Amino acid sequence: MKVKNVAVILMIVGFVFSSNAQSFEAVKELANRRVPWLAGKLVFSPIVKEDGKDVFELSSKKGNIYIGATDANSASSALNWYLKYYCYRNMSHMGDNMKPLEKIPVIDKKIRIVSPYRFRYALNYCTINYTMSFYTWKDWERELDWMALNGVNLMLAPVGVEAVWQNTMLRLGFTQKEIIDFIPGPAFSAWWLMGNLEGWGGPVSQNMIDQQVLLQQKILKRMKGLGIEPVMQGFYGMVPTTLKNKEKVKIIDQGKWAGGFTRPDFLLPTDPYFEKISGIYYSEMKKLYGNDLRFFGGDPFHEGGNSNGADLGVCAKEIQKQMQHSFPSSTWILQGWQENPSTKLLAGLDKSKTLIIELFGENTANWETRKAYDGTPFIWCNVSNFGDKVSLYGKIQRFADEVYRAKTGSYNTFLSGIGIIPEGIHNNSAPIDFMLELGWHTDKVDTKEWIKNYVKYRYGKPNETILEAWQGFLETIYSSPEIYQEGGSESIFCARPSTNVESISSWGTRKRNYDVAKFAKAVKLFVSVSKEFEQSETYQIDKIDLVRQVNANKGDVVYQSMIDAINKKDAVAFETASKKFQMMILQQDELLNCNPHFTLHTWLKQATDFGTTPKDKELSVRNAKEQITIWGPYDPNTNLHDYAFKEWGGLLGSLYLDRWKLFEKEQLTLLSNQAVNPSNYFEIEKKWTEESNMFLPKLLTKEKENSLIDAILQ
């Protein structure tokens, strides 16, 4: 494809996304919510784009801060820039540093920042569940404020699709039971939308379906005000497996997904019934969520779905045709993940109305090996976190290097933006901040320089000791080794016990691809200034997280001592190591219970609050417990167990400790040359999910917390 034609494509995509100068009222309201001490000093004004690119300007005059911006989203980004780099203030998923300043900092010279990218994207389907399953409006309001401040102008927003499907299926003659059997529980909707399963975690109530509609309507209204375009769920051929029993249609059985789940069927787009369902589906979406939707997601044959017998080019063309028929100016967004979207599927698309999310940038460069997905506009993203697991990880410098390489390389005309696509977002604030800030940098960024400012705005002031510690973190947990790794290194404490634990989740790893001694040294340095930051929420959260990681790393060593003792048939040495290991689990449990960001109770309380009736509360809590343990289905052979495990206070001291106690008992029996029946860990886990315990944490005094931290760091 010629560069000239590519420019036309990108102009069309940009035109579809752009709108007239937006009101700044939503940004003013955001400022009032988050920084009321500053809000009255902010003066907003519109400015024009620079060569079609978003721009913001910052200046000071007579005690006020003047923000010129091309739209509400750029204005929010400007506000965040001022907060970070002048006020040393920051909002994050892992605590806030937003305390009032006595004196408003002055900007000596007007600054002007231009975003090189049309899109600054956020969210993975999985994030909607691993982090956001039980978000209420209060949670979403905070989330959208954070998104706007960080410049996100395109965000996945599939909340409330259950009602679209319910209304569609009713019009197609399905019974209420058939509909409810298709719709999953609140913690599993992501994998339903991706065509991986149906019904799991349900049955949901009508009350819950209606609740999500009202929530989505609030979300979309706020997104519009803040200049964030929603990516809605398109109709791409996924249909209930019961459809073939009701109508003579041409479907492709999609077989099994992970865990043994039966996937929904794929309705061939060439079947006349496809046009019928598509028309109804989109009309129902319009009724609930409006006519001005411009972006739709949906991936046929996701993660190994069966495409045998389908002309992929024709399928893609027909799916996009129906999307365009209902929403003429829409763009189809596809995930660049594993082999999808295939070359044959891409060949059938109008690429001026297509956008690829390059997911796995921390490990792969599909944008390059696949030649910009055969000349399709794409957004460079990274996943980094899988399952919202608690682990410190992120190849920060690689983010900068790869984005710059894509921006300056032979496929740069197709690079339409940058973004974050973690499976869970409640972790690792630094890599997430850094990635989104790249959306406003033209030149390549050196993380060692960037981190100097991060330390200031993360903790509210500069500190040489903390900066030195963070330089150590950049060389360890946040280094960028050329090693394939799906998410952070996993904690042995959370493993289903065995004598050969290579990973806790089926696709994870326990291997530490960094110098653990160097990391521990940096953590001790960080902790050494604790007294100076006793009132800093962000420092206290990071301290717990960093010390947790040190203890988890130490757990690997003690676990190996246990295994060595078993191999030597030394029962005394094994029991000694096992008792020490269990003591470390209890230490970890106590440590994490010191902060609500790391407790099981916080998650379960969120699930309880999400439910508005006793039945809905019960369903939500069951979903919450099952997602982080057995996942599903109810099959001891599922390879999804512990996929979304959590190193949390409450979970460590109950299920995880109980599993390791049982392991000790078994091994001591075997070491005494007695027969033993292998433990059924699945049944133990399933029983745990059925208990009513909400795991309210027992808080330590600050003195005991500090003593515990000292003991761990010895």
Distance CA 183, CA 162 (A): 7
Query: How confident is the model over 166-182, as a mean pLDDT?
Result: 98
In a domain, 35, yes or no: yes
Chain segment 207-216, per-residue pLDDT in tens: 999 999 999 9
Calculate the average pLDDT of the chain: 96
Chain segment 620-644, per-residue pLDDT in tens: 999 999 999 999 999 999 999 999 9
In a domain, 349, yes or no: no
Together in a domain, 567 and 696: yes
Annotate 391-459 with DSSP letters as a single string: -----HHHHHHHHHHHHHSTTGGGEEEEEE--S--SS-HHHHHHHHHGGG-SS---HHHHHHHHHHHHH
Q: What does the pLDDT read at residue 10? A: 46
Strands 331-336 and 154-156, sheet pairing: unpaired
Do 713 and 547 form a contact (C-beta atoms < 8 A)?
yes
Q: Give 362-367 contacts, CB < 8 A, sequence gap 24+.
A: 362/394, 362/395, 362/398, 362/399, 363/484, 363/485, 363/486, 365/402, 366/336, 367/336, 367/406, 367/411, 367/414, 367/415
Distance CA 207, CA 475 (A): 50
Residue 617: pLDDT band with limits 50, 70, 90: very high
CA-closest candidate to residue 705, choices 594, 548, 572, 550:
594
Element (H, E) at 325: helix 312-326
The three-state (H, E, C) secondary structure of 634-701, written as one string: CCCCCCCCCCCCCCCECCHHHHHHHHHHHHHHHHHHHHCCCCCCCCCHHHHHHHHHHCCCCCCCCCCC
Residue 203 belongs to what domain range? 157-327
Instruction: Mention every residue, 6+ apart, whose C-beta is less than 8 A from residue 285.
Output: 164, 232, 293
Together in a domain, 186 and 48: no
265-267 sheet: strands from edge to edge: 238-239, 265-267, 251-252
Residue 16 has pLDDT above 50, yes or no: no
Together in a domain, 11 and 63: yes
* C-alpha dihedral, 681 to 685 to 687 to 688, nearest 10°: 140
State which of 327, 361, 387 marks the end of a domain.
327
Together in a domain, 101 and 207: no
Together in a domain, 188 and 42: no
Query: How confident is the model over 148-171, as a mean pLDDT?
Result: 98
Percent of the chain with pLDDT over 70: 97
Distance CA 192, CA 180 (A): 13
Which CATH number is 249's domain given? 3.20.20.80
Which CATH number is 666's domain given? 1.20.120.670
Residue 21: pLDDT band with limits 50, 70, 90: very low
Alpha-carbon distance values, 330 to 15, 350, 421 (Å): 11, 11, 21
**Whose structure tokens read 């400015």?**
47
Proportion of the chain in helix, strand, coil states, percent, rounded to 5? 50, 10, 40
Q: What does the pLDDT read at residue 38? A: 98
In a domain, 234, yes or no: yes
Which CATH number is 100's domain given? 3.30.379.10
CA-closest candidate to residue 487, choices 584, 540, 541, 421:
421
Q: What does the pLDDT read at residue 338? A: 87
Chain segment 391-444, per-residue pLDDT in tens: 999 999 999 999 999 999 999 999 999 999 999 999 999 999 999 999 999 999
Residue 7 has pLDDT above 70, yes or no: no
Together in a domain, 705 and 583: yes
Name the β-bridge partners of 117: none
Q: Looking only at Cα atoms, what is the longest distance across the chain?
A: 84
**Whose structure tokens read 């394939």?**
484
Together in a domain, 210 and 98: no
State which of 272, 307, 327 marks the end of a domain.
327
pTM: 0.95
Q: What does the pLDDT read at residue 22? A: 52
Chain segment 486-507, per-residue pLDDT in tens: 999 999 999 999 999 999 999 9
Do 625 and 693 form a contact (C-beta atoms < 8 A)?
no
Number of domain units in the chain: 3
Query: How confident is the model over 264-293, as a mean pLDDT?
Result: 98
Residue 4 has pLDDT above 60, yes or no: no
Distance CA 215, CA 209 (A): 10
The three-state (H, E, C) secondary structure of 222-284, written as one string: HHHHCCCEEEEECCCCEECCCHHHCCCCCEECCCECHHHCECCEEECCCCHHHHHHHHHHHHH
Together in a domain, 106 and 202: no
Q: What does the pLDDT read at residue 5? A: 52
Together in a domain, 231 and 177: yes
At residue 97, φ and ψ (nearest 5 deg) are -125, 80
End-to-end CA distance of the chain: 61
In a domain, 140, yes or no: no
At residue 681, φ and ψ (nearest 5 deg) are -65, -30
CA-closest candidate to residue 300, choices 327, 337, 272:
337
In a domain, 687, yes or no: yes
Residue 19 has pLDDT above 70, yes or no: no
Distance CA 706, CA 339 (A): 49
Together in a domain, 669 and 593: yes
481: three-class secondary structure by DSSP: coil
77: three-class secondary structure by DSSP: helix
Dihedral of CA 654/657/661/666: which sign?
positive
In a domain, 133, yes or no: no
Together in a domain, 60 and 172: no
Q: What does the pLDDT read at residue 639? A: 98
Q: Report the range of poorest mean pLDDT among 12-16, 89-93, 574-578, 700-704.
A: 12-16
In a domain, 450, yes or no: no
In a domain, 391, yes or no: no
State which of 114, 143, 177 marks the end of a domain.
114
Residue 577 has pLDDT above 80, yes or no: yes
CA-closest candidate to residue 393, choices 510, 486, 518, 488:
488
Residue 582 has pLDDT above 60, yes or no: yes
Together in a domain, 178 and 305: yes
Query: How confident is the model over 293-314, as a mean pLDDT?
Result: 95
Side chain identity, residue 179: I
**Structure token digits, residue 4:** 């000239």
Distance CA 562, CA 566 (A): 6
**Whose structure tokens read 């059924």?**
680
